[in-house]
Amino acid sequence: MQACKAATALLSVALTLASLTAVGDSKLLGTSGGQQIEGQAGGGIVPWALLAGYGDVGEMGVSAAATRVALDDFTLDVAGLAVSYHNRFELSYARQTLDVEPLGLEIQQDVIGAKLRLGGDLIYGKTPVITAGIQWKKNRDNTVPELLGATDDRGVDYTLSASRLWLDAFAGRNVFANATLRYTEANQTGLLGFGGPDGGPRVVAEGSLGVFLSRRWVVGAEYRQKPDQLDSVAEDAWADLFVGWFPGKRVSVIGAYTDLGDIAGLTDQRGFYLSLQFTH
C-alpha cells in the first residue's frame, strides 16, 4: 500500500538519524506505545504522554510506522516518523491519505507534531508522566471541506496528556491508562478541513486503557471525542478495541476494531485498523 512505501522511506531517514547519536534501549518493552494516526507516540487514535522509542535520559528514540484503517466507505493510509531525545522532547511527521470510495476521490493531509514532557514518571512516584503537545495540520485539497462548510484548510491542535503504568495491578497484570485533553477545530482530524458555522476551537476529551496479558501482548480500548462543528454533516466520537503485539523492541504490531460513526454524511463507519511500527 502507499503508506508502506512512504514508511520505508521514513524508516531510512529514521535509521540515518539514529546513527548520529546514542539510540535508547532503556525503557520496558511495550512502553513506547504505538504510533497514532497523526504520527505521535500513542494508541491508534489517541496521543499518549509517552515519547517515541525506548530512549531515556541522554538517549534518542526513533520510530517509523505504516497504518491502514479500512472502513465501510473509506480507507485511511498513514505513514509516520517520530523522533525523541532525552525522554523530554518529540518531533513527528505524518502523511494521511483518505480514499473516499463512493466518490472516487482522495484527500491528503500533512501533520507535523511536537511533544514536551513536563514532568512525572510512567511508573514511579505519585505523579503520572505529563506531556504538552502540538499538531500543525495542512489539508492538501480543500475542495470537499469547503463544500461541507469548513472555513480553513489548515489548523493547529493543542494537547495535554497524562499516562500511567501500574505494575502487577490487576490479577497479576500490568495496567496502562492515558487521558488527553485536546483544543481543536479540526473536522475529522482535519481531513474535512477546519472550523465551521457552529463555532471555533473546542476542548474535547480522549482516553485509553490497556491491560498487558504478558510482556508482549496488550489488549485495551480507546475513546476520542470530536468537535462536531459542521452543520451539513454530523461528526461522531471515535472508539476502538485494540490488541498490541511487541515481539521485540524493534517491531510492534497493533490491530483494532474501530467504530468511527458518521463521516461526511456516510453513516456507521466501522472497520479494522492495522499498524506496523519499526523502532530503533
Instruction: Please state, as a whole number, how many other Cβ atoms lie within 10 Å of the Cβ of residue 48.
Output: 31
Mean pLDDT to the nearest integer, 197-225: 93
Q: Which of 95, 93, 97, 47 is nearest to 70 (CA)?
A: 97
Cα 221 to its chain centre, rounded Å, is 14
Longest CA span, the chain: 53
User: What is the average pLDDT value for the chain, to the nearest integer?
Assistant: 90
Give tens-digit pLDDT for 232-264: 888 999 999 999 999 998 899 999 999 999 998
More confident residue, 48 or 27: 48
**pLDDT confidence of residue 258:** 97
pLDDT exceeds cutoff 70 at 268: yes
Q: Which of 1, 3, 26, 109 is nearest to 279 (CA)?
A: 26
**pLDDT confidence of residue 231:** 86
Kindly report the pTM of this predicted structure: 0.90
Residue corresponding to grid cell 514536551: 116
Q: Are 35 and 277 in contact (CB under 8 A)?
A: yes
Q: Which of 29, 89, 100, 39 is nearest to 67 (CA)?
A: 39
Domains in the chain, start-ordered, CATH in brackets? 2-279 (2.40.160.40)
Q: Are 179 and 148 in contact (CB under 8 A)?
A: no
DSSP code of 188? G
DSSP code of 152? B
Q: Which helix (H) or strand (E) holds 42?
A: strand 41-42
